[in-house]
Amino acid sequence: MVLIGLGSNRGDSRDILLRAMKRLEQFSAGKVTCSHLWQTSAVDCPEGSGDFINAAVAFDARPALTPELLLTGLKSLEVEFGRATSAVRNAPREIDLDLLLFDEHLRDSAEFTLPHPRAVNRLFVLAPAAEVLPETIWPNTKCSIEQLLAKLETDEQVSRLELAQR
């Protein structure tokens, strides 16, 4: 099972994420499960960054799709949806697509790390992820995503937007 985290805090974030969720179907071998959209405070972002809209998408990968190929595809989608490179770390962006999990694959390279190294400490990742894969065990933790969410203590402000689940 693949788990992708989505985020946007620039432009029409809701529309961008809903369209991106649909486009992620190209990587799936079947049904794509999408969380609700969540409005979250910007974390580790420059002063004045607006709130994010976040979501999660889960699916079984197409045969022959590797984590590396998927990551390349995600980066292409980011460009397609208007993400520009910035010299400022975590600057506002139209879209951010993070590969959080890819089956039981573990990676630690210069290009990326699987599972995503900061995901288990971020409410804005775990809240939507728990909607789509609550019982999935996070590698190296022996805890389900739902259990990790329950353990997370934070002052971060998160609220589910009232939008239809896709």
If pLDDT is split at 50, 70 and 90, which confidence band does 98 have?
A: very high
Q: What number is the average pLDDT over the span 41-70? A: 87
pTM for this predicted structure? 0.89
Q: Three-state secondary structure along the chain? A: CEEEEEEECCCCHHHHHHHHHHHHHHHECCCCEECCCEEECCCCCCCCCCCEEEEEEEECECCCCCHHHHHHHHHHHHHHCCCCCCCCCCCCCCCEEEEEEECCCCEECCCCEECCCCHHHCHHHHHHHHHHCCCCEECCCCEEHHHHHHHCCCCCCEEECCCCCC
19-32 pLDDT tens trace:
999 999 999 999 99
If pLDDT is split at 50, 70 and 90, which confidence band does 76 have?
A: very high
2-158 is a CATH 2.40.480.10 domain: no
